[in-house]
Amino acid sequence: MSLGPFKIAVAPMRETAFQKPAPQCPLGLAGPAQRIGTTDSANLWLVGVSNEDGPPPGQMSLLSQDERDRADRFHFAVDRTRFILARAALRTLVGQAAGQAPEEIEFSTGPYGKPGLKGRPDLHFNVSHSGALALIGISSERPIGVDIEIIRENMDELALARTFFCEDEFAFLSALDAPARLRAFYKIWTCKEAVLKAFGVGISTNLKDFSVELTQDGVKIHPTSACFTPALAMTRIEPIEVPAGYAGTLALAGL
């Protein structure tokens, strides 16, 4: 199968809460999902999932009983709200793509926890949350993985890389100065998570199955074990334009 050139056309951002926060609607506050990118085979949305007053009316009623129970198990109200808003947005967007009402969506769960849509293996989606944002990707062509991470400056990224990354990734990061290293660390991290989430496998067990090379032109991945080789060769990876302070990556799995 020929993939053709892969281009992520990030839609010009309107003056939204994400681009130019207004006092009454700062970055990440609850609001409608905003489409931030379109490729020839995937659409991406960002959703603000923070709201001091809890979920706006009507959001909870979109969730299944299981999801409501899960929401009620969160210890902190902020986490409960974020979960409810992210799930409601996911149901709304997947519902639009599938032609179903959000509250009628029935999710299935893959062996390692990846949600799918019951009866629609052709409709691929994935969600990631970090801080005040959720990132949602939907593809009608290939299994998709997305990852968004809030960038934390006070972390020992080299220690994390030594433990979780491949040797060449660690060596690459070690040679960078601190600001460049932090940026590169998050690019590699979100890339690894997005790829593994596209394949729907467990993160911890497969992190070292491939290494990520950051190049002038983007990102290349190099298998380090036979595990994913054929599919990895067909995997598309793109960094995503997310608001300042976050890093994000999209991956579309090879078939």
Pairs from 93-100 (Cβ < 8 Å, separation ≥ 24): 93/33, 93/45, 93/125, 93/136, 93/138, 94/123, 94/125, 94/138, 97/123, 97/125, 97/138, 97/140, 98/123
The residue from 16, 43, 92, 128 that contacts ligand COA (CB under 6 A) is 128
The residue from 129, 142, 192, 236 that contacts ligand COA (CB under 6 A) is 129
Contact flag: residue 193 with ligand COA (CB under 6 A): yes
CB of 206 to ligand COA, least distance (A): 9
Site string for ligand COA, 142-171 (x = CB under 6 A): ---x-x------------------------
Contact flag: residue 28 with ligand COA (CB under 6 A): no
- Based on CB atoms, which residue is closest to ligand COA, 103 or 178? 103
Contact flag: residue 115 with ligand COA (CB under 6 A): yes
Chain residues 55-114 in contact with ligand COA, contact rule CB under 6 A: 112-114
Chain residues 198-217 in contact with ligand COA, contact rule CB under 6 A: 200, 202-204
Rounded to whole angstroms, how far apart are CA atoms 111 and 91?
Answer: 21
Alpha helices by DSSP H, the chain? 65-72, 77-98, 157-164, 167-174, 178-199, 203-206, 229-233
- Based on CB atoms, which residue is closest to ligand COA, 91 or 197? 197
Contact flag: residue 121 with ligand COA (CB under 6 A): no
17: its two tokens: 């809460």
Edge-first strand order for the sheet with 236-239 is 144-150, 246-252, 236-239
